[in-house]
Amino acid sequence: MRKSGMAIPLWLLIPALLPVLVFSVAPLFQGIWLGFTDYELGARETRFIGFENFRYMLEDRQFWRSFRVGGVWTVAVTTGEVVLGLMLAMLLNARLPGQTLARVLVLAPWAIPPVIKGLMWRLIYHPDAGALNGALISLGMIDRPIQWLTSFTWALPAVIVVGIWSSLPTTTVVLLAGLQAIPGEVREAAAIDGAGAWGQFRHVTLPLMWPVIMSITALQAMWNFNSFGLVFVLTEGGPAGSTRLPMLFAYEEAFQFGNLAYASALGTVMTLVIGLVLVAYMRTQFRAAQGGTA
């Protein structure tokens, strides 16, 4: 008789491994390498130029600007969706009237392609025909239409709201699954001990949910920082770069100006930033978790 485990041959991995190596691992390394060259669209030859692209980046105000926009966007969207997602998950778990229907409706944005999410919100934000200005004017809250997506003041907040809207369902579903895994007896025991609603949340729900909250925050922050399609359709990074996320900046550099090497270097820096922030985040969270239980 065959023994379990050892008998299964590794070559069964090859059909999956080969395309991953050719279309994912190889381009990744080549992309990192390109960042150290002067490769441009249509260039005859490519030279290795060391850290030249990265040195240029430090003096490039567009770069700093787009990474600052990316930072604001990532922190605002991630915080918003996790805080609101936790609230929504708890509401969906509270046996309120219409709970089943609400659970289905809440998932609506999940199913929608990013491009169409962007188009939908352009319709909502449209200065003349949009639902938002229409509602605000008829409520008497504003008397002139606001140019949501083309004003320096409003474009970034408006885009952030769409970002939160767009990823709220995923976050909520994950957090709801986490909530449902908490045995009811735990909370009942706390209630019997005299804990109020806030006390139960603070001392029972939150600590038990912490690992789930931590992982979904990290994942979403990563995805948000690398986000492209939604904002591309909403504003294309405008007005004057005020919503130009790092991915949009890199895309412009690569495919509008042909600076393929510089765009690749930007990609490398994006990866580094994400990596460093994640490591730092994991560390502080890990310490906080240990300090909390001690």
Partner 1 sequence: MNRTPPLARFAMTIALWTFVFFLAFPLVWLVLTSFKPSAEIMQRGAQLLPDTWTLENYRQALFGERILQTAFNTFRVAVASSLLTLAIATPAAYVLARRPGGVNKPVVGWILISQTFPMILIIVPLFMILSRLGLGNTHLGLVLVYTVWSLPFVLWMLRGYVRNVPVEIEHSAAIDGANHFQIITRVLIPLILPGLVATGLYGFINAWNEFFFALVLVKSPELQTIQVNLARFRGVEGLARWGPLAAGSVLATIPTLILFGFLQKGLVSGLLSGGVKQ
How far apart CA 67 and CA 246 sit, in angstroms, is 6
Does position 155 interact with partner 1 (CB under 8 A)? The reply is no
Interacting positions 172-201 with partner 1 (CB under 8 A): 173-174, 177, 188, 191, 197
Nearer to partner 1, 196 or 292 (CB): 196
Angle, helices 155-180/99-106, rounded to nearest 10 degrees:
130
Interacting positions 62-91 with partner 1 (CB under 8 A): 84, 87-88, 91
Dihedral, 6, 10, 16, 20 alpha carbons, nearest 10: 110
Say if CB 118 and CB 230 are below 8 A apart: yes
Structure token digits, residue 84 = 């609101």
Tell me, residue by residue from 23 to 62, as one string, x for binding to partner 1 by CB under 8 A and - for no binding: xxxxxx-xxx-x----x-----------------------
Does position 289 interact with partner 1 (CB under 8 A)? The reply is no
Structure token digits, residue 283 = 């560390």
- The residue from 52, 75, 122, 150 that contacts partner 1 (CB under 8 A) is 122
Does position 157 interact with partner 1 (CB under 8 A)? The reply is no
Where does this chain touch partner 1 (CB under 8 A) — which range of 49-57, 74-82, 165-173, 285-293?
Answer: 165-173
Where does this chain touch partner 1 (CB under 8 A) — which range of 71-79, 137-145, 202-210, 285-293?
Answer: 137-145
How far apart CA 140 and CA 163 sit, in angstroms, is 27
Say if CB 82 and CB 74 are below 8 A apart: no
Return the DSSP state at 8: S
Does position 212 interact with partner 1 (CB under 8 A)? The reply is no
Say if CB 227 and CB 245 are below 8 A apart: yes
Neighbour count for residue 186 (Cβ, 10 Å) = 13
Where does this chain touch partner 1 (CB under 8 A) — which range of 57-65, 120-128, 203-211, 285-293?
Answer: 120-128
Where does this chain touch partner 1 (CB under 8 A) — which range of 44-52, 57-65, 217-225, 282-290?
Answer: 217-225
